[in-house]
């Protein structure tokens, strides 16, 4: 973690609130062995109603300990989480390498600091937590009330289950972080209340950072507990559940968004090994045809289409990935007014999860219709998320409408569709719907257990057969263009001409023939005007 010969800078950060009777003792319990590092102490008094600040400042002025001390006092109470944010920001701004959180009430033994620091100094962890639960009875013997012990165990079990972690305790306040790790997570977006501690653990887990636990003694003295246990438990459950749902793209909170996406179009993943718009499109397309893949991402479908001896034209906002199997590629912004490909002579247009991204789907669909140019047999294959899916409906029922990084409520979506609204848009843009079906949720991308994922996929598919508008995660439609009005009028003129010739042959009447030719001339004039 540190260069050879470099002495780590360690900040002991003491959060204090109404701790006038304990703050001095906490300072004197900081081990002398920490002198081997460049160690400093920061005390932030969170607008205490007693003499906490004065006692801490007096200790600083008198040189009570052999470490530099900085004492700050918040003019307005920032609460437990808010006070931590200030301390971590201080550590980042002042170039420390490690910050150790110690409580001013003395509940967590400062004597344990040297052992807790070692994994961070050696680069073996990004965060170290002092755990009271690594032994079965240590917390109880240390005076932890039974109800707190049981609650701690239950909450930790719930959190480990949802987050896939294996911590002995989520609720210890004895924590040490590498400042480099703090820079990687948006801790400043976390809640200011006591469940700040839970949210920062979630951030560390989601960011793939290393957490190490070490046992610490439990001490419960006569300090006043300022935590509302039931409220805290509910806040922890909400934060953990929200974070897990975010992994399924059903919720979104910026503080849990610690996975920066790659630039470009590599964000979207292929869905070729389970029922999806990709597999449905591939089964629909005939061999030896020409396919225009709009919004082709990294060319996931180009290779399987080439195996079907198809000619593939890719269209996307981002450059084609090197080695992509396109016969032709056109880089194009679909929000431009005219579609860049002449669709005459083409067999299929794929638009899988595309139409919801364009700014004006109506204009986009109309530009596609114009590009068909008389190719009325071409098929357009379209998929999009179904906002009528049961999960968004239920979320909306409870006042939730959460955009996220993926899914139906993707942050990049500009329009949301139901079966009815998509059908209406396409029909009003000049297309005829040939078929439509529902697609189940992509459980294999969300669940790590493939057997469970396949079971859920099949179950979802069965529910779709009962009520596709409610249980379809995505809408999959196949359409073809209707002839345009100029084309229809031209056909009517030609048809009338042929009918007139046929009528002349059967009934060679001069007056009837003149009327027919007059009608033909009028229709021709109308067609040229159109």
Domain containing residue 499: 485-529
pLDDT (tens digit, 9 = 90+) per residue, 158-215? 999 999 899 999 988 999 999 999 999 999 999 999 999 999 999 999 999 999 999 9
- Considering only 71-85, 362-376, 468-482, which range has the smallest mean pLDDT? 362-376
The pLDDT assigned to 261 comes to: 53
More confident residue, 511 or 502: 502
CA distances from 19 to 71, 363, 521 (A): 13, 66, 100
- Residues 477, 492, single domain; the answer is no
- Considering only 224-233, 251-260, 273-282, which range has the smallest mean pLDDT? 224-233
Domain membership of residue 266 (yes or no) is no
The pLDDT assigned to 471 comes to: 96
Domain membership of residue 174 (yes or no) is yes
The pLDDT assigned to 107 comes to: 86
Domain membership of residue 13 (yes or no) is yes
pLDDT (tens digit, 9 = 90+) per residue, 443-479? 887 777 888 889 999 999 999 999 999 999 999 999 9
Q: For residues 199 and 183, what is the distance between their CA atoms, to the nearest angstrom?
A: 15
pLDDT (tens digit, 9 = 90+) per residue, 125-142? 999 999 988 776 666 666
- Mapping DSSP onto H, E and C, the string for 509-526 reads CHHHHHHHHHHHHHHHHH
Confidence bin at 264 (pLDDT 50/70/90): very low
Confidence bin at 219 (pLDDT 50/70/90): low
Confidence bin at 322 (pLDDT 50/70/90): confident
When divided into structural domains, the chain yields a total of 3
Confidence bin at 518 (pLDDT 50/70/90): low
> What is the average pLDDT score of the chain?
88
Domain membership of residue 4 (yes or no) is no
Q: Is the pLDDT of residue 96 over 70?
A: yes
| Contact criterion met (CB below 8 Å) for 322 and 344 | no
Q: For residues 80 and 85, what is the distance between their CA atoms, to the nearest angstrom?
A: 9
Domain membership of residue 422 (yes or no) is yes
What's the whole-number mean pLDDT along residues 290-313?
91
CATH number for the domain spanning 430: value is: 3.40.50.150
- Residues 44, 186, single domain; the answer is yes
pLDDT (tens digit, 9 = 90+) per residue, 380-406? 999 999 999 998 998 888 888 878 778
Domain membership of residue 489 (yes or no) is yes
- Considering only 2-6, 108-112, 276-280, 393-397, which range has the smallest mean pLDDT? 2-6
Q: Rg (Cα) of the chain, in Å, rounded?
A: 34
pTM above 0.85, yes or no: no
What's the whole-number mean pLDDT along residues 250-256?
84
The fraction of the chain above a pLDDT of 90, given in percent, is: 64
- Residues 240, 132, single domain; the answer is yes
Catalogue the E-assigned strands of 376-473: 379-385, 431-439
Domain membership of residue 261 (yes or no) is no
């Amino acid at each position: 973690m540190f260069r050879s010969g470099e002495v780590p800078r360690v900040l002991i950060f003491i959060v204090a609130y109404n701790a006038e009777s304990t703050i001095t003792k906490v300072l004197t319990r900081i081990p002398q062995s920490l002198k081997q590092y460049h160690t400093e102490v920061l005390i932030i008094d969170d607008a205490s109603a007693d003499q906490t600040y004065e006692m801490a400042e007096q200790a600083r002025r008198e040189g009570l300990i052999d470490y530099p001390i900085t004492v700050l006092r918040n003019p307005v109470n920032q609460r437990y989480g808010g006070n931590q944010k200030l301390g971590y920001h201080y550590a980042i701004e002042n170039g420390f390498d490690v910050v150790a959180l110690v409580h001013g009430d003395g509940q967590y033994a400062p004597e344990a600091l040297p052992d807790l620091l070692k994994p961070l100094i050696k680069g073996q962890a990004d965060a170290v937590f002092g755990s009271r639960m690594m032994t079965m009875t240590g917390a109880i013997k240390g005076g932890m009330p039974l109800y707190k012990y049981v609650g701690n165990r239950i909450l930790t079990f719930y959190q480990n289950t949802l987050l896939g972690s294996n911590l002995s305790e989520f609720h210890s306040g004895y924590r040490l972080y590498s400042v480099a790790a703090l820079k990687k997570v948006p801790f400043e977006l976390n809640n200011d209340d006591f469940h700040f501690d839970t949210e920062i653990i979630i951030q560390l887990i989601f960011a793939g950072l290393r957490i190490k636990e070490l046992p610490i003694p439990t001490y419960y003295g006569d300090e006043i507990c300022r935590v509302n246990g039931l409220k805290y438990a509910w806040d922890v459950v909400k934060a953990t559940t929200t974070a897990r749902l975010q992994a399924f793209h059903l919720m979104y909170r910026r503080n849990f968004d610690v996975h920066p996406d790659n630039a470009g179009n590599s964000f979207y993943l292929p869905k070729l090994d389970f029922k999806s718009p990709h597999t449905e499109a591939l089964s629909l397309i005939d061999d030896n045809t020409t396919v225009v893949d709009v919004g082709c991402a990294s060319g996931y479908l180009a290779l399987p289409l080439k195996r079907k001896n198809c000619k593939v034209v890719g269209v996307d906002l981002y450059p084609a990935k090197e080695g992509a199997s396109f016969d032709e590629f056109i880089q194009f912004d679909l929000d431009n007014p005219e579609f860049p490909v002449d669709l005459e002579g083409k067999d299929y247009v794929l638009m899988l999860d595309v139409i919801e991204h364009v700014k004006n789907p109506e204009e986009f669909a109309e530009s596609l219709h114009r590009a068909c140019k008389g190719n009325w047999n071409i098929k357009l294959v379209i998929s999009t998320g179904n906002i009528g899916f049961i999960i968004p409906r239920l979320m909306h029922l409870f006042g939730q409408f959460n955009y996220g990084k993926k899914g139906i409520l993707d942050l990049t979506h500009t329009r949301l569709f139901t079966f009815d609204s998509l059908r209406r848009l396409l029909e009003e843009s000049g297309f005829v719907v040939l078929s439509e079906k529902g697609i189940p949720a992509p459980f294999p991308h969300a669940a790590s257990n493939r057997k469970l994922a396949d079971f859920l996929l099949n179950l979802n598919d069965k529910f779709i057969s009962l009520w596709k508008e409610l249980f379809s995660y995505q809408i999959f439609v196949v359409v073809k263009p209707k002839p345009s009005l100029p084309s229809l009028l031209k056909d009517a003129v030609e048809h009338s001409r042929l009918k007139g010739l046929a009528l002349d042959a059967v009934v060679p009447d001069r007056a009837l023939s003149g009327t027919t030719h007059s009608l033909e001339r009028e229709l021709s004039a109308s067609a040229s005007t159109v």
